[in-house]
């Protein structure tokens, strides 16, 4: 290795970090911010980005000595959580970078917080979003704090370790946005176990799901501690968890446990799952034994750890040992104050080369010299295989000789040759790249034949060559012939690599087709959502029908050249990708597909009709949401689509539903009313009529007939359903009086012929029907519809009844012209004052306008007369409570209206005031009906008073006062009188 420059160096960052506030008990860092907790209950925040620092006393107001137990800072350096412990128990505080005073989290009173997991993908400077806290007693809590609210939004328990209630020592959280919600990945460590949790939803629902299933954990026993470690145990619990973050995504983890450093890779997009549905997102797990760090001396466990991309930084005593994560070798030992990273990936190419992982070694090579060394080792390894092949061939072991065939060396040579070619040698680069592709595919097939476990063994040579081949395809995607490479991958049956290469070349149609074949509709839709996928045009490759067969022996250069020229015959045609796959996608996942359609602004719904018809032709549950109807309604009501095909399709789906309410609403809706001189509807009425007749939607047919001005057909059909509907249809014709009369005659004939009662009853109903026509039909118009045996006397009686009703109406009209002569000495029946006396004191009180100087009054046909206010008072007193309240309310409203009229006219009534009191006339009419419908002395009100007692219950006390009671009966004597 190059020893000219150290990978890590030690820098002095802050000499007096605690500012005399005690010794350092804990520390956390994030985004050039370091927060230190001290033994005297202070936290000191150093912001090296702006060169500022401040300190906050968390022990203020707490009795006795206080110490900061743990302090935590989010990756952005804005949010800080700290727990202080002392004789008064434990308290946890939250503070923000902009605050000068902390806020105590009161609902965590008494809980010792050991670990915090931040949601790095969602956290902002203003809000922590969801945060997980781990406590000393094995509990997990969820908390969220908003900087503006100055307090926690909520704190709720998530989980508790019931089986082995150990302290939570470390927490990490990762989130991934899935098509069906957010998936959480949470890891927690105790002194002996590493727990993993995962699920989709909220944190509360994820952890609640573990109440009914087992929690996954990895258990490592605590090794025997030395005397030095026992002394340090209160300060260093020998259990810590770290994620290494690269581009905001955790890629590997490390658990500092009592038995060693347990570490591995994190693959949050893994498809392999456990039987109960949990994703197994931990891969390439390994345990680094502490004995490897001691060099034969006494094993001393690290008291703290930090994780970089390729190394572990372990604090052992007063030194920092830098251990390569891949080789597990100590590369540096540093005296620590603060450690900086200087090109830590410098020698990783050599580490991978020693492990014979050539693809990773090439990926980490920095210059041509390093790459040449990697190629050289590959070639030598391949030549070694050649020697073994020749030896096997000499011993006539041809099968074994074939397995050592020098194809690996040839592939290595071709790759080296590609690096030395200039960009102008395009033809040669394409040929060599294609040849190397063939060699890779042959190697993959041979490994599959040799090892049956290659597909499931993730550490096998097969998996390694797959990664190397994909890296090669990615590097050479621009020089490889697209058609040739795809056909080659197809001929070897490498479907996944074909899809991978198609993605690189943006051949989205192939990728979508593959996902659909796998039943992965959501993944196919994700491809369609990419901006690079066009809506209407997409290149589609058509391969020849016949092709030379490929085998492991077809390796020669001329065959490759023939292959290239042979497959250049292809047809480029344009295919609308979004519409081509629509039938398959809606069949696989109708909900997600329709949601995608509605979110796409540039789709043409008409081109989706075949897909929607295919989906609609399949049976669906009655309570299932019809996704096609949902999309069509969206197109019509939200997008204002006017395509007749869309409207016809929606109408056909409505017609097939059991309930015809949606169909009728659709037919009655005028979609073109917003356009000047535009049509009221966009569907084909003839098609709609045929469809509704076929599906027996008769009410819809009536509406369509009427809309097409086929009123006779509409009324005839309506009479079979509901005569009321027929009458409504007949009334719709207003411009053609003859047609309207003809329609009403159709209704009349039907009504008369359907009546099954006696003749006189039928005639009576016919007369009632004539009244509904408002004089349009006469008796002579409906006579032909009656049977021949109907008696003329019945009609005469009917006619007499009609004349009688007319006479009654005329008498009622004449009542308005009747009058009564009042004698000047006529008294009011209530107050006994003269009816014609001046009534200025109450002229307007009741809402009436007096004529001249006389007060308003009532006169009944029986001869009784009453002042209006006297009559109102008498009726109110004698009637029931509800009627009395109604009368008083009317009188109050009349009074208010009278006041308004006088106020507007400034004391005198004007023409405008008179014409504006029409509401008062209405109220006065209602009051007349309530108090003057009959004479109170001759009508029902007086009859009801007959049953009332002479002495009312409220007069009982007065009656008792008149009672004569005898006194001193004991002193009286009785005498007998002779008869």
Q: What string of H, E and C letters represents the secondary structure of 252-308?
A: EEEEECCCEEEEEEECCCCCCECCCCCECCEEEEEEEEHHHHCCCCCCCCCCEEEEC
Checking if the pLDDT of 866 tops 80, the result is: yes
pLDDT category at 351 given cuts 50, 70, 90 is confident
| Torsion region of 158: left, alpha or beta (phi above 0 gives left; psi -120 to 50 gives alpha) | alpha
- Mean pLDDT along residues 811-839: 79
Write the DSSP assignment of 208-264 as a string of letters: HGGGSSPPEEEE-PPPPPPHHHHHHTTT--S-EEEEEEETTEEEEEEEE-SSEEEEE
Q: In what order do the strands lie in the sheet with 181-189?
A: 170-178, 181-189, 193-200, 216-219
The crossing angle, in degrees rounded to 10, of helices 426-450 and 557-566 is: 110
Reported as a single tens digit per residue, the pLDDT across 75-84 is 989 999 999 9
Which ranges of 64-213 does DSSP label H, i.e. alpha helix?
203-208
Q: At what angle do helices 737-754 and 723-731 cross, to 10 degrees?
A: 170
Quick: pLDDT tens for 36-66: 999 899 999 998 888 788 889 998 878 888 8
How sure is the predictor about 842, in pLDDT bands with cuts at 50, 70 and 90?
very low
Q: Mean pLDDT across the stretch 431-443?
A: 88
Could you give the CA distance from residue 284 to residue 518 in angstroms, rounded to a whole number? 27
CB 67 within 8 Å of CB 25: yes
pLDDT for the residue numbered 771 = 67
The per-residue pLDDT for range 114-148, each reduced to its tens digit, is 999 999 888 888 888 899 999 999 999 999 988 77
Q: Which residues contact 50 (CB under 8 A, 6 or more apart)?
A: none
The answer, yes or no, to whether residue 345 has pLDDT greater than 90, is: no
- What the block records as the tokens of 122 is 């969602």
Which is more confidently placed, 754 or 320? Answer: 320
Rounded Cα distance, 485 and 428, in Å: 15
- As a whole number of angstroms, the distance between CA 93 and CA 41 comes to 12
Residue 818 pLDDT = 74
DSSP E strand stretches across 31-78? 33-38, 42-47, 52-57, 66-73
Which pLDDT belongs to residue 622?
56
> Which of 330, 329, 294, 307 is closest to 250 using CA atoms?
307
Confidence bin at 245 (pLDDT 50/70/90): confident
Residue 332 has pLDDT above 90, yes or no: no
Structure tokens at 455: 């597909």
Give which of 736, 691, 692, 678 is closest to 711, Cα–Cα. 736
Q: What is the pLDDT of residue 492?
A: 85
The SS3 of residue 483 is helix
Q: What is the arithmetic mean of pLDDT over 26-37? A: 91
Alpha helix locations (H) across 816-880?
868-878
**Per-residue pLDDT, 563:** 34
CA distance 835 to 508: 101
Residues in the chain: 979
Long-range contacts, 39-44 (Cβ 8 Å, 24+): 39/67, 39/68, 40/65, 40/66, 40/67, 41/65, 41/66, 41/67, 41/68, 41/84, 41/86, 42/18, 42/68, 43/68, 43/71, 43/80, 43/82, 43/95, 44/17, 44/18, 44/19
Confidence tier at 843 by pLDDT (50, 70, 90): very low
Tell me the CA distances in angstroms from 107 to 59, 91, 151, 762, one per residue in order: 18, 9, 11, 83
- Lowest-pLDDT range, 89-103, 705-719, 841-855, 873-887? 841-855
The continuous run of DSSP H or E covering 93 comes out as strand 89-96
Whether pLDDT at 366 is above 90: no
Answer yes or no: is pLDDT of 500 > 80.
yes
Distance in angstroms (rounded) separating the CA atoms of residues 482 and 491: 14
Q: What is the mean pLDDT of the chain?
A: 77
86/747: higher pLDDT: 86
Per-residue pLDDT tens for 368-403? Answer: 778 777 777 766 666 566 566 666 656 766 555 555
Ranked by mean pLDDT, which of 246-250, 456-460, 713-717 comes out on top? 713-717
pLDDT higher than 60, residue 845:
no
**Least confident segment among 147-151, 313-317, 828-832:** 147-151
pLDDT tens-digit series, residues 789-798: 555 555 566 6
Per residue in 711-734, pLDDT (tens digit) is 888 888 888 888 788 877 777 777
H-run or E-run covering 164: none
C-beta separation of 373 from 47 below 8 A? no
Helix (H, G, I), strand (E, B) or coil at 802: helix
Q: Look at 41-55, 229-243, 926-940 and tell me which has the smallest mean pLDDT.
A: 229-243
pTM more than 0.85 = no
Distance CA 171, CA 75 (A): 14
State the DSSP code for 971: G
| Per-residue confidence (pLDDT) for residue 131, from 0 to 100 | 94
Distance CA 806, CA 803 (A): 5
In angstroms, the CA 381 to CA 389 distance is 13
Q: What is the pLDDT of residue 73?
A: 95
Q: What's the gap between Cα 678 and its chain centre?
A: 37
- Give CA separation, 76 vs 73, 94, 173, 596, 688, in Å: 8, 15, 15, 35, 63
Q: What is the pLDDT of residue 72?
A: 95
Residue 67 pLDDT > 80, yes or no?
yes
Q: What is the pLDDT of residue 643?
A: 87
Does 431 score more than 80 pLDDT? yes
On whether the CB atoms of residues 292 and 275 are closer than 8 A, the answer is no
Indicate if the pLDDT at residue 551 is higher than 50.
no
Contact 26, 44 (CB under 8 A): no
Q: Which of 24-33, 675-684, 899-908 has the highest mean pLDDT?
A: 24-33
pLDDT given at position 950: 74
Q: Which pLDDT value is given to residue 50? A: 81
* 5 CB-near residues (< 8 Å, 6+ apart): 342, 343, 346
Distance between CA atoms of 163 and 190, rounded to whole angstroms?
13
Q: Is the pLDDT of residue 909 over 70?
A: no
**DSSP letters of 931-947?**
HSSS-TTTSHHHHHHTT
CA distances from 98 to 34, 146, 659, 866 (A): 15, 12, 62, 85
CA proximity to 230, closest of 255, 256, 258, 254: 258
CA distance 349 to 367: 11
Q: Is the pLDDT of residue 902 over 60?
A: no
In this model, does residue 162 exceed pLDDT 60?
A: yes
Residue-level pLDDT at 112: 93
Encode pLDDT of 730-761 as tens digits: 777 777 777 877 887 787 777 777 765 555 56
Measured CA to CA, the distance from residue 817 to residue 725 in angstroms comes to 43
The three-class DSSP label of residue 326 is: coil
- Output the pLDDT for position 910: 46
- Beta-strand pair 103-104/113-117: unpaired
Reading the block at residue 802, the tokens are 């009609």
Q: Can you point out the beta strands (E) in 290-372?
A: 304-307, 311-316, 319-324, 330-335, 339-341
Residues 459, 465, 471: CA angle, nearest 5 degrees: 115
Task: State the pLDDT confidence band at 233, using cuts at 50, 70 and 90.
Answer: very low
d(CA 269, CA 283): 12
Q: Provide the strand spans (E) within 429-569.
A: 539-542
pLDDT at 534: 62
Q: So what's the pLDDT on residue 554?
A: 34
CA distance 721 to 660: 14
What integer pLDDT is reported at residue 854 of this predicted model? 76
| High-pLDDT (> 70) share of the chain, % | 75
Per-residue pLDDT for 451 more than 50? Answer: yes
- The DSSP result for 680-746, as a single string, is S--S-HHHHHHHHHHTT-HHHHHHHHHHTT-HHHHHHHHHHH-HHHHHHHHHT--S-HHHHHHHHHH
Inter-residue contact 473 to 445 (CB < 8 Å): no
Which has the higher per-residue pLDDT, 361 or 105?
A: 105
């Amino acid at each position: 290795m190059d020893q000219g420059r150290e990978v890590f160096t030690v820098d002095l960052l802050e000499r007096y970090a605690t500012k005399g506030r005690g010794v350092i008990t804990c520390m956390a860092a994030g985004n050039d911010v370091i927060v230190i907790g001290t033994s005297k209950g202070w936290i000191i925040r150093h912001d090296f980005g702006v060169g500022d620092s401040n300190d906050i006393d968390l022990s203020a107001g707490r009795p006795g000595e206080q110490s900061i137990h743990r302090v935590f800072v989010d990756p952005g350096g804005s949010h800080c959580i700290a727990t202080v412990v002392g004789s008064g128990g434990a308290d946890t505080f939250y503070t923000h970078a902009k605050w000068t005073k902390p806020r105590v989290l009161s609902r965590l009173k008494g809980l010792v917080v050991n670990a915090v997991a931040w949601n790095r993908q969602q956290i902002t400077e203003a809000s922590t979003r969801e945060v997980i806290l781990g406590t000393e007693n094995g509990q997990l809590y969820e908390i969220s704090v908003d900087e503006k609210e100055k307090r926690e939004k909520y704190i709720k328990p998530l989980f508790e370790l019931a089986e082995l209630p150990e302290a939570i020592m470390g927490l990490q959280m990762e989130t991934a946005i899935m098509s069906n919600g957010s998936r959480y990945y949470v890891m927690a460590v105790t002194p002996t176990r590493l727990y993993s949790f995962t699920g989709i939803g909220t944190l509360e629902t994820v952890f609640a799901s573990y109440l009914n299933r087992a929690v996954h954990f990895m258990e490592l026993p605590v090794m025997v501690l030395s005397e030095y470690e026992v002394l340090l145990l209160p300060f260093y619990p020998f259990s810590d968890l770290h994620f290494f973050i690269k581009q905001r995504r955790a890629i590997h983890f490390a658990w500092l446990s009592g038995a060693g450093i347990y570490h591995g890779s994190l693959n949050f997009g893994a498809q392999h799952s456990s039987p109960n549905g949990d994703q197994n997102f931990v891969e390439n797990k390994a345990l680094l034994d502490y004995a490897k760090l001691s060099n034969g001396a006494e094993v001393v466990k690290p008291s703290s750890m930090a994780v970089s991309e390729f190394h572990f930084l372990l604090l052992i005593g007063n030194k920092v040992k830098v251990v390569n994560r891949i080789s597990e070798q100590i590369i540096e030992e540093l005296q620590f104050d603060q450690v900086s990273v200087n090109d830590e990936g410098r020698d990783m190419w050599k580490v991978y080369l020693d492990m014979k992982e050539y693809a990773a070694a090439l990926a980490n090579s920095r210059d041509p010299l390093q790459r040449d060394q990697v190629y050289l080792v590959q070639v030598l390894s391949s030549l070694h295989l050649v020697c073994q092949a020749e030896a096997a061939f000499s011993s006539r072991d041809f099968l074994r000789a074939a397995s050592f065939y020098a194809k690996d060396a040839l592939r290595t040579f071709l790759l080296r040759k590609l690096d030395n070619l200039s960009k102008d040698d395009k033809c040669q680069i394409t040929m060599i790249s294609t040849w190397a592709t063939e060699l890779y595919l042959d190697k993959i097939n041979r490994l599959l034949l040799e090892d049956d476990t290659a597909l499931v063994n993730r550490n096998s040579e097969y998996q390694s060559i797959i990664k190397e081949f994909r890296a090669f395809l990615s590097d050479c995607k621009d020089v490889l012939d697209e058609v040739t490479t795809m056909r080659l991958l197809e001929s070897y049956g490498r479907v996944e690599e074909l899809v991978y290469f198609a993605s690189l070349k943006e051949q989205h149609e192939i990728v979508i087709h593959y996902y659909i074949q796998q039943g992965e509709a959501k993944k196919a839709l994700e491809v369609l959502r990419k901006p690079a996928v066009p809506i209407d045009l997409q290149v589609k490759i058509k391969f020849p029908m016949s092709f030379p067969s490929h085998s492991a022996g077809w390796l020669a250069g001329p065959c490759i050249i023939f292959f290239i020229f042979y497959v250049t015959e292809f047809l480029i045609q344009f295919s609308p990708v979004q519409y081509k796959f629509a039938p398959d996608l809606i069949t696989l996942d109708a909900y997600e597909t329709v949601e995608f359609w509605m979110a796409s602004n540039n789709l043409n719904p008409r081109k989706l009709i075949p897909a929607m018809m295919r989906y609609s032709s399949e049976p669906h549950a009655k309570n299932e949401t019809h996704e096609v109807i949902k999309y069509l309604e969206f197109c019509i009501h939200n997008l204002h689509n006017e395509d007749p095909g869309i409207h016809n399709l929606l109408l056909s789906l409505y017609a097939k539903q059991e309930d015809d309410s949606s169909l009728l609403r659709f037919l009655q809706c005028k979609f073109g009313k917003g356009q000047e001189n535009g049509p009221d509807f966009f569907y084909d009425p003839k098609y709609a009529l045929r469809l509704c007749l076929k599906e027996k939607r008769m009410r819809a047919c009536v509406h369509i007939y009427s809309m097409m001005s086929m009123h006779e057909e509409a009324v005839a059909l309506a009479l079979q359903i509901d005569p009321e509907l027929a009458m409504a249809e007949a009334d719709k014709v207003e411009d053609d009086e003859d047609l309207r009369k003809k329609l009403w005659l159709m209704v009349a004939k039907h009504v008369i012929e359907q009546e099954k009662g006696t003749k006189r009853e039928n005639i009576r109903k016919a007369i009632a029907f004539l009244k509904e026509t408002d004089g349009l039909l006469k008796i002579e118009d409906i006579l032909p519809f009656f049977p021949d045996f109907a008696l003329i006397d019945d009609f005469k009686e009917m006619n007499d009844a009609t004349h009688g009703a007319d006479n009654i109406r005329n008498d009622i009209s004449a009542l308005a012209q009747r009058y009564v002569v009042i004698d000047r000495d006529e008294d009011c029946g209530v107050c006994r004052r003269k009816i014609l006396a001046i009534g200025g004191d109450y002229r307007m009180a009741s809402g009436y306008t007096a004529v001249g100087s006389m007060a308003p009054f009532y006169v009944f046909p029986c001869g009784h007369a009453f002042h209006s206010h006297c009559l109102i008072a008498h009726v109110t007193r004698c009637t029931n409570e509800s009627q009395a309240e109604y009368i008083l309310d009317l009188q109050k409203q009349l009074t208010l209206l009278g006041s308004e009229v006088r106020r507007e006219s400034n004391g005198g009534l004007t023409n405008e005031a008179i014409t504006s009191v029409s509401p008062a006339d209405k109220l006065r009419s209602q009051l007349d009906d309530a108090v003057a419908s009959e004479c109170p002395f001759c009508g029902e009100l007086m009859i009801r008073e007959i049953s009332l007692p002479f002495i009312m219950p409220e007069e009982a006390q007065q009656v008792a006062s008149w009672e004569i009671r005898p006194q001193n009966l004991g002193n009286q004597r009785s005498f007998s009188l002779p008869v």
